[in-house]
Amino acid sequence: MDLIKLLKEIYLKSDCNCGCGGCKLSPTLTESNNIISENLQYHINKSLNLYENEFRIGSKAYMDLFNEARELWKEGKLKVGSLDESLLETNLGEFGIYEGEKVPLDLPMIENNINEAEYKGKKVQLGKPKRGGTKKFYVYVKDPKTKKIKKVSFGAAGGGQNLRVKFRDPKARNAFAERHNCSQKKDRTTPGYWSCRLPRYAKQLGLGNNMNTFW
């Protein structure tokens, strides 16, 4: 899988709800006196988005850039576009322990099943929403606090299984995002996080092309 190519395809299909161009914002420091690495400064000077990371995927420099940017972003010292924000919300750049080995997280370029885990005795894929379950969709995630695998069900329950998903209707999408306060949903272990980001997984759920947007 070519991660950079995939992210660029999502970016080109992205939809900025407000029309302000926020989805295309390249990394920008909020304060001029922030001390940052030469590598991050280079990307800022060249107006390169984080998904355009110039370093070899999986290298220390590649991982360090995401970790540095994430820390600054969480502190409010770095502004990024919606696509870069979606990357910083993941664990890209960090490592975890899988079957006794140290592995990079959320890095699909490395073919070592790092996106797989075990849930109730069966192998499951992490971070990949699917149809079905007690609600319309479900996804397996790793709880960063307990380190355990959790199944998160989201979407309409019961009869809602057959309701049409209307995220391609701008009015319906904006109303949903505002009603559910989507911009504040940061916890990947909650139904709200995945419901708000459903358009980003549209293709694998059979709902059409992905859209890098909230509802």
- For 125-173, write each residue's pLDDT tens digit: 888 899 888 888 999 998 888 888 899 999 877 544 444 667 778 888 8
Helices first, then strands: H and E counts in the chain: 6, 9
Q: What is the pTM of this model?
A: 0.49
> What pLDDT is attached to residue 15?
44
> What pLDDT is attached to residue 147?
82
Q: Which of 47-61, 79-93, 201-215 has the lowest mean pLDDT?
A: 201-215
Q: Is the pLDDT of residue 195 over 50?
A: yes
Is 9 or 90 the better-scoring residue by pLDDT? Answer: 90
- Helix or strand run (H / E) with residue 151: strand 149-157
Give the gyration radius of the chain's Cα atoms: 18
